[in-house]
Structure 1
Amino acid sequence: MDLALLFSSFTARLDGRKITQQRMLYEALRDAILEGLLPATTRLPATRALAKELGIARNSAMFAYEQLAEEGFLDVSRQGSVVARVGAASLLKSTGHKTAAAKLSRRVDGLRREPLTRETPISFRPGLPALDEFPMRPWRAAIARAWRNLDAADLGYASSAGLPDLRHALVDYLKVSRGVRCDVEQVFITDGTQTSLDLCARMLADAGDRVWIEEPGYIGARAAFQGADLTLLPIPVDADGIAPSPMDWVTSPPRLIYVTPSHQYPLGSVLSIERRMDMIERAREHGAWIIEDDYDSEFRHTGSPFAAMQGLAADTPVVYLGTFSKTMFPALRIGFMVVPAALSSEFAHTLGEISRQGRVADQLALADFMRSGAYTRHLRRMRMLYAQRRVALISALQRHFGEAVTISGDAGGMHLTVRLNVPLVDVDVCHAARSAGLWVAPVSTFCLARGRAARYNGLLLGYAGVAAAHADEAVGKLAQIVRSMLKPTAKPPKTSAKV
């Protein structure tokens, strides 16, 4: 093997990367050994001869040989340096076939989603707050105070349950705003709702256990439960929320029940008090745990806010989940769980073994933000802002679509749904809209059972991030897209006059 040719070929592959001569020689020889260009038992020239041939310093050649010998690529003795037998070398050659690593596990099959981007000019993305309205100045001040109050001891791993200051602030807030019954020992800080769901799936159920999920329902919950190898049973949702039949309890009793009772995701219905009480009672009878995801309950636009299921009775079998992604900003990555008192000590012990907390400054700043009243003031402003944006969106939908759509789920939260009363498929409409720079989501994709998807043919529109002044333009653009997709030869239905 011509080592000078090998060395120059490797240099050409560096693509502008700057490395030392000794590192360059080491990498060139290592890659040649791994690729089989320098087979086992090949004797390499002495470092002095090699350095002279390549025009480099002898120390560089000595470094490369020593490093390769330490890593097991060379056998060095008084007789010289010989390429060692690297058993894995043949495995590194491309076979033209996909390796096992290229295929993900069956647990996550079907859960791959498109990446989030900032390229869409107009976005009705649900769950995204009005980030441009966030009070940066008081938040920066809270962050600065947090760092001033930290010392070296706070830079290590924090309690797996979360910072006590934030847990106490949450107890005070949840008791007043959501009617949650809890003590600080029941509150656990997480990295967000997705982490909370993952912990519930792993700590409250075993592989193969049955979990009831809403149909259509939150895809993130589906991902967490499927990732934990649980058996998913979709339960249909109607105007009064999730609607299990009496036979479901007999033939398919669950270990876990996932619900979004205050504002069902994505349809927006509210779980009736009768179903809430019945579910709590039956969950007790069957030894099931209810996971209550209260993701955007802070924003109620008509009537009074609904209290959490967790606080309807003492010792309910409910794990209450919340997040600051909707009320603050998603990048904060702080959520929380309120577990039943009977589980609090077990949760604390287990979390101490399987997780580590950090971001002490962020948690301390958030506790300060809540205690100072800045959080409440921010929520008050956002309620007013989202109420205005909701009205603007509904008015635009009625103006541009008329009876071509049916609006629902707008009484609270940050999104609403529109059912398509025209002969189009929601997935196709959304693809066309995104191609035109308008981000909307199809409701049918939130269904687990493919046979039910056609029942929920509609669009999910988040309005928190769309200014009221831009709503008419955005909806007008969407209506134009829908009109262009309708076949000119087809007789339009009576309900599509506006489109």
Structure 2
Amino acid sequence: MSWADIYPWSPPEPGEPVVRRLYDQVRGAILSGALKPGGRLPSSRDFSTRLGVARASVVAAYDLLLAEGYAEGRAGSGTYVSADLSGMLDVKPQTPAPSARPPRIPARARVMDELTFPTPQAEPRLFTTGRTLLDARALDAWSASTRRALRTLGPVHFGYSDAAGEAPLRAAIADYLRAARGVICTPDQVIVTSGAQHAVDIAVRLLLHRGDSVWMEDPGYPATLHALTVAGVAIHHVPVDRSGLVVARGVAVAPEARVAFVTPSHQYPLGVTLSMARRLELLAWAREAGAWIVEDDYASEFRYAGPPLASLQGLDGGERVIYVGTLNKALFPGLRMGYAVVPKALATAFANARQVIDRQPPTLTQAIVLDFMREGQFAAHIRRRRLTDKGQRDALASALTDQLSHLLEVDVPDQGMHLIAYLKDGRSDLEVEAAAAEAGLYVRAISRLYRQVAPRQGLMLGFSGFPARLMAGGVARLAKVLG
């Protein structure tokens, strides 16, 4: 008889995972020394009978112990405690010596720890920004593309693929951008990313060293600011007026900046468009300074008055502008797909950086998007979305004007997915934001997005993710908040 035969084994409690309970008991007895090396364990049949559990559960627990080296099997004899437990029995929490030093937390980790992000909402509140809607036709078409992609799973899905994205999808994106935005590119310049922010982050990693000078719009997009802050670069906050980035101010404060980060088509958050004169001025500075421009065209699809302005990348010819876009706003944020169009001199480095960070974009998602585009559904969806979003924008603007013109100055944008309503009475937009949250509304205070420019008090209200019929009622609730 072995010690294991008289050990006080206890059956699992009701609802307790049986295999884990058996494994933990045997392992604990071994580590405590109650079961000695080389000792025989009960047979799976006897053990299961004794504890009133299925024999398969005992076999599974023994398999775990065998795999981890706590037990060993002997042909025709049974299962035994491993004869060699060196390195296992002495595993105990170590008390640090008085002279021991804790690992140093790097400065970059401390910066990361200090960043703040909006809390994801299980149920979206009215006026939340960045949301999208798919109508019934788009949903049906997306479902059909998904079914086709699943029916035709090819070898590419069962191994690793091109980190820059699948060639057919990159070609489709290049065709779309040439037609829709005047981007000058070939498919090998297109890098598929998880979204615009992913592309911006790669650009920061590749183009900048700690201490380098950059231009950043003021106010500007917080996610870009986060990426630059973590990189440890010298950020020069360049003001924005009704014509967009004040290029002359950037030249005055940091003429030798390495990169300018801009949102020229729909400035975030103010919604203004960079004028043609300023676009040419910005490109002239970049040529003179030997600098790069990162053009974040995050809302390029949604222009409601006239044709889209030419992309900076197209004006430049593709030599010094990294053009960044996203399908997450054109389709839906859960898609997690965007792209960067990079100068040919950077294409290999950009693709390699993307591989180092995340290996490759998901091939199945790429196949679905490609089918959706090839079937003409993407272009049709964008046309319908423009009309829908314009109706939502107009409904929101009309309700704000009708109900709150005495308190708010509404800036109706020609493009994008949100509008800005400036407070007239001098109250704090942060206080309004908090009060609106209590009323179940999401209005974002823009004052926190300013850095060196004197902040204006205003509210950012998203209209793209909610039906037009909800706008008047939502504004009525906001009117109660504003009193």
- The residue identity in structure 2 corresponding to 1:22 is L
Equivalent in 71, 81, 89 of residue 84 of structure 1: 89
Cα–Cα, structure 1 residues 437 and 28, in superposed 2: closer, same or farther, change >3 Å?
A: farther
Mapping of residues 28-177 of structure 1, within 5 Å: 28=28, 70=70, 84-86=89-91, 88-90=93-95, 105-120=109-124, 122-131=125-134, 135-177=138-180
Cα–Cα, structure 1 residues 6 and 86, in superposed 2: closer, same or farther, change >3 Å?
A: farther
Mapped to 2, the partners of 1:346 and 1:82 lie a distance apart of 45
Q: If the length of structure 2 is used for normalisation, what is the TM-score?
A: 0.83
Mapping of residues 193-204 of structure 1, within 5 Å: 193-204=196-207
For residues 127-148 of structure 1, give each alpha carbon's deviation from its aligned partner in whole angstroms, at most 9, with x where no partner exists.
2112456711111111222233
Q: Which residue of 2 aligns with 1:486?
A: none
Equivalent in 427, 433, 436 of residue 424 of structure 1: 427
Mapped to 1, the partners of 2:138 and 2:228 lie a distance apart of 35
Equivalent in 387, 404, 411 of residue 407 of structure 2: 404
- The residue identity in structure 2 corresponding to 1:468 is A
Cα distance, 1:262 vs. partner? 0.4
Q: Which residue of 2 aligns with 1:388?
A: 391
Structure 1 residue matching 2:295: 3-state secondary structure:
strand
Mapping of residues 201-280 of structure 1, within 5 Å: 201-246=204-249, 248-249=251-252, 251=254, 253-280=256-283
For residues 167-219 of structure 1, give each alpha carbon's deviation from its aligned partner in whole angstroms, at most 9, with x where no partner exists.
11112111111011111111111111121111111112122322221111111
Structure 1 residue matching 2:116: 3-state secondary structure:
coil
**8 A contact 1:209–1:255 mirrored in 2:** yes
**8 A contact 1:389–1:467 mirrored in 2:** yes
Task: Tell whether 2:195 aligns with 1:192.
Answer: yes
Task: Tell whether 2:25 aligns with 1:25.
Answer: yes
- The residue identity in structure 1 corresponding to 2:90 is R
Cα distance, 1:223 vs. partner? 2.0
Mapped to 2, the partners of 1:49 and 1:183 lie a distance apart of 67
For residues 450-488 of structure 1, give each alpha carbon's deviation from its aligned partner in whole angstroms, at most 9, with x where no partner exists.
x64x622111111012222111100010010111xxxxx
Mapped to 2, the partners of 1:189 and 1:82 lie a distance apart of 47
Structure 2 residue matching 1:469: 3-state secondary structure:
helix
Cα distance, 1:371 vs. partner? 2.4
Cα–Cα, structure 1 residues 241 and 29, in superposed 2: closer, same or farther, change >3 Å?
A: farther
Mapped to 2, the partners of 1:409 and 1:105 lie a distance apart of 40
Cα distance, 1:11 vs. partner? 6.7
Equivalent in 303, 306, 309 of residue 303 of structure 1: 306
Mapped to 2, the partners of 1:375 and 1:124 lie a distance apart of 25
Mapped to 2, the partners of 1:70 and 1:5 lie a distance apart of 17
Cα distance, 1:66 vs. partner? 6.6
- The residue identity in structure 2 corresponding to 1:463 is F
**8 A contact 1:76–1:82 mirrored in 2:** no
Cα–Cα, structure 1 residues 285 and 401, in superposed 2: closer, same or farther, change >3 Å?
A: same
Structure 2 residue matching 1:254: 3-state secondary structure:
coil
Cα–Cα, structure 1 residues 49 and 298, in superposed 2: closer, same or farther, change >3 Å?
A: closer
Cα–Cα, structure 1 residues 418 and 471, in superposed 2: closer, same or farther, change >3 Å?
A: same
Equivalent in 378, 383, 389 of residue 381 of structure 2: 378
Q: Which residue of 2 aligns with 1:458?
A: 458
- The residue identity in structure 2 corresponding to 1:200 is A
Structure 2 residue matching 1:456: 3-state secondary structure:
coil
Q: Which residue of 1 aligns with 2:482?
A: 482
**8 A contact 2:202–2:353 mirrored in 1:** no
Cα distance, 1:424 vs. partner? 2.1
Mapped to 1, the partners of 2:107 and 2:438 lie a distance apart of 29
Cα distance, 1:288 vs. partner? 1.4
**8 A contact 1:296–1:326 mirrored in 2:** yes
Cα distance, 1:83 vs. partner? 7.5
Cα distance, 1:101 vs. partner? 8.1
| More displaced stretch, 102-111 vs 165-174 | 102-111
**8 A contact 2:193–2:361 mirrored in 1:** no
**8 A contact 2:286–2:292 mirrored in 1:** yes
Cα–Cα, structure 1 residues 411 and 99, in superposed 2: closer, same or farther, change >3 Å?
A: same
**8 A contact 1:43–1:82 mirrored in 2:** no
Mapped to 1, the partners of 2:65 and 2:321 lie a distance apart of 63
**8 A contact 2:164–2:191 mirrored in 1:** yes
Cα–Cα, structure 1 residues 260 and 7, in superposed 2: closer, same or farther, change >3 Å?
A: farther
**Structure 2: tracts of 5 or more residues without a match:** 53-57, 72-80, 97-101
Q: Which residue of 1 aligns with 2:322?
A: 319
Mapped to 1, the partners of 2:132 and 2:40 lie a distance apart of 66
Mapped to 1, the partners of 2:68 and 2:379 lie a distance apart of 62
Cα distance, 1:20 vs. partner? 5.0
Aligned-pair Cα RMSD in Å: 3.7
Q: Which residue of 2 aligns with 1:489?
A: none
Structure 2 residue matching 1:220: 3-state secondary structure:
helix
Mapped to 1, the partners of 2:343 and 2:273 lie a distance apart of 23
Cα distance, 1:413 vs. partner? 1.0
Mapped to 2, the partners of 1:21 and 1:316 lie a distance apart of 63
Structure 2 residue matching 1:455: 3-state secondary structure:
coil
Q: If the length of structure 1 is used for normalisation, what is the TM-score?
A: 0.80
Cα–Cα, structure 1 residues 365 and 20, in superposed 2: closer, same or farther, change >3 Å?
A: closer
Structure 1 residue matching 2:395: 3-state secondary structure:
helix
Mapped to 2, the partners of 1:390 and 1:359 lie a distance apart of 34
Equivalent in 294, 297, 301 of residue 294 of structure 1: 297
Cα–Cα, structure 1 residues 249 and 26, in superposed 2: closer, same or farther, change >3 Å?
A: farther
Cα distance, 1:76 vs. partner? 6.8
